[in-house]
Structure 1
Amino acid sequence: MREPRDLIDPAFRQYWNELLTPDLLHQLIKGTFKDHLVAWVINYITLTAESEREAKRILDDIDRRIASVPAFPGLRRFPQGRNFKQWTGNDSKALMKACAIRFVSRNVFLPVLTGYVPDKMIRCLDAFLEFAYLARRPSHDTTSLDAMDAALARFCELRSIFVETGVRPNGFALPRQHALLHYTRMIKLFGSPNGVCTSISESKHIAAVKRPWRASNRNNPLLQILRTNTRLTKLAALRVELGRRGLLHGDLISYALRKVGLAPPQDAQLEREELHANEQD
């Protein structure tokens, strides 16, 4: 059976990456950071440790350091370290932020890994995180694009440490990392990657597929998912219409009291509530 990439005309195969817009979620965050760098660091520790028990001790200590990040607004804590049941894009972004805020400063070691990995590997991670946060900016100019190119050049140079240590003996024929080389050009063509990232549709996927699937009985779930989405859409439309007609103000008891003459009319009651609110302000 032919591979999908074999179906592409060889004359255009070398340019296919240039036809794709940047994807921060799958190329940068979950791709290069989670699937590549985090996994490579763990592999390095496993390969160089004196024993399996020693490797486990080192990884547990790294988890302890990650878990020691103090509470701070906008910064997620990881009490369990890096041991997630399932890595999501938000998990990866939050861990990158924790590393960037707590452990990373420009051209300075990552204390969470200090003593366990070579300095060159630390600087490689530093260069990638700098590129990643520059790429995630909502707007770009010539200065930011030049900084992205410089950070990416350092990352591509320093990642050779993974070849030298035997983690990646066959090099870096990795489409997701190769795509990073086209980021600045694509930003010039299409604007900030935030506007073309698959995380936009991913958030819709959660509401339209994952949650309805969890609410189903797993038996022929597709029809149940479609029915759930249809009903939720109709309920949302009904709520808008009822709100437009003013039928969502007050509650059932107030309505019943007005009907029997034990409460003022709705308009008078609303005016009284607004007046009371203005007096409190």
Structure 2
Amino acid sequence: MPNDRGEHKDSPLRTAPSVRFTLRQKQNGEDPLEFEDEGLREVYSPFWSDLPHSDIFCCISPDILHQLHKGVFKDHFVKWCSDIVGETTIDDCFRAMSTHPELRHFKKGISSVSQWTGKEHKEMQKVYLGVLAGAVPAKVLTAARGFLDFVYYAQYQSHTIETLHRMQESLDLFHANKDAFVDLSIRDHFNIPKLHSMRHYITSIQSLGSVDGLNSEGPEQLHIDYVKKGYRASNKNDYVPQMAKWLQHQEAIDLRTVYLRWCAELPPHDETDSSDKDVTDEEDD
């Protein structure tokens, strides 16, 4: 049910045949309860209804970048913790963290950063549990540990029964302690779609493979290569044609680079004339 998306419990999954049946009932003038309960709309012939060998509800796969890094972590969890102790305290904790060659030191805190990337979200997650230690109640810290463990297990490139079991334990730990935010008057509910999506990660891994292969973080890089760089190369006035021309030039350069690399890998050219070789062979005969 839409109001139960924040609950840590299993619900029956939707299927294409059942939804089509509900839509036909509504189209025929009936008033099925499932139409309102499932939040359907009067689109009686959805694009997926006649697709063979497919199930639209199996096409919705996890997305670590938007659901976990940017979604639950940055847009929700960080905000909840900042509301508990204040942004100033969080910034002070970030500044007080010890430096390490493999960890980013947020020497100015995080409240002044206006735009975040997936890389920065990951760098925050590496030290965030240490930032919260001693600053938030124990139950909030435990919820943070459960959530962050879940995020790290979700990023595994391969899984075993053991890793999936630990992933489920991490999710259970988070949900067992998330009520701390309600007790502190930070949240009234957890009816958050991106939070609910975490319940489907394990079954998705079992059916589709590791989430690392479904992540949109790779294609997001194309925004930089094909949009942002092209815009910066324009004069910012009527920039779309300029961006298209810039991309054409880049593709031409890339093709030439590939051709030159191919030429460099060719074996050395034999300058011996083939006709002379034929004459020598005849004399030998």
TM-score scaled by structure 1? 0.71
RMSD across aligned C-alpha pairs, in angstroms? 2.7
CA contact (8 A) 2:65 2:215 kept: yes
CA offset digits 1:61-92 (Å, max 9, x no partner): 22322xx332223x323222223231111110
Q: CA, structure 1 residues 17+86, in 2 after alignment: closer, same or farther (shift >3 Å)?
A: farther
Contact 1:18 1:182 in 2 (8 A): no
1:203 aligns with 2:221: yes
2:205 pairs, out of 180, 187, 191, with 187
**Counterpart in 2 of 1:40?**
80
Deviations along 1:97-138, one digit per CA (max 9) or x if unpaired, are 2336xx2xxxxxxxx223431110000001111111011011
Q: Does 1:62 align with 2:93?
A: yes
Determine whether 1:90 maps to 2:119: yes
Does the 8 Å CA contact 1:69/1:98 hold for their aligned counterparts? no
Separation of aligned partners in 1, 2:199 and 2:82? 25
Distance in 2 (alpha carbons) for counterparts of 1:233 and 1:36: 40
Partners in 1 of 2:147 and 2:210 — Cα distance? Answer: 18
Specify the code of the residue in structure 2 equivalent to 1:173: N
What is the distance in 2 between the residues matched to 1:240 and 1:59?
Answer: 49
Alignment of 1:1-281 (within 5 A): 10=35, 13=39, 19-46=59-86, 56=88, 58-65=89-96, 68-73=97-102, 75-83=103-111, 84-99=113-128, 103=130, 112-169=131-188, 171-246=189-264
Number of equivalenced pairs:
219
Post-superposition CA distance 1:185-216 (Å, at most 9, x none) = 00011111111111021012211112211222
8 Å contact kept, 1:128–1:155: yes
Contact 2:63 / 2:216 at 8 angstroms: preserved in 1?
yes
Q: Distance in 2 between matches of 1:17 and 1:165?
A: 37
Alignment match, 1:271: none
Partners in 2 of 1:93 and 1:138 — Cα distance?
16
Tell me the secondary structure at the aligned position of residue 116 of structure 1.
coil
Match of 1:274 in 2: none
1:227 Cα deviation (Å)? 1.4
Q: Deviations over 1:154-185 (max 9, x none)?
A: 1112111111111112x011010000000000
Partners of 1:60 and 1:244 lie apart in 2 by 52
Gaps of 5+ in 1: 1-8, 47-54, 104-111, 248-266, 268-281
Distance 1:59 1:133, change over 3 A: closer
CA distance in 2, matches of 1:154, 1:238: 54
CA contact (8 A) 2:91 2:108 kept: no
TM-score calculated relative to the size of structure 2: 0.70
1:243 and 1:141 map into 2 onto residues whose CA distance is 41
The 4+ residue runs of structure 1 with deviation greater than 4 A are 11-19
Residues 159 and 200 of structure 1, relative CA distance in 2, 3 Å threshold? same
- Bigger Rg over Cα: 2
CA distance in 1, matches of 2:127, 2:172: 24
Identity of aligned residues (%): 32
How far apart, CA to CA, are the structure 1 residues paired with 2:99 and 2:94?
14
Q: Where does structure 2 lack aligned partners over 5 or more consecutive residues?
A: 1-22, 24-34, 41-54, 271-285
CA shift, 1:246, in A, is 4.4
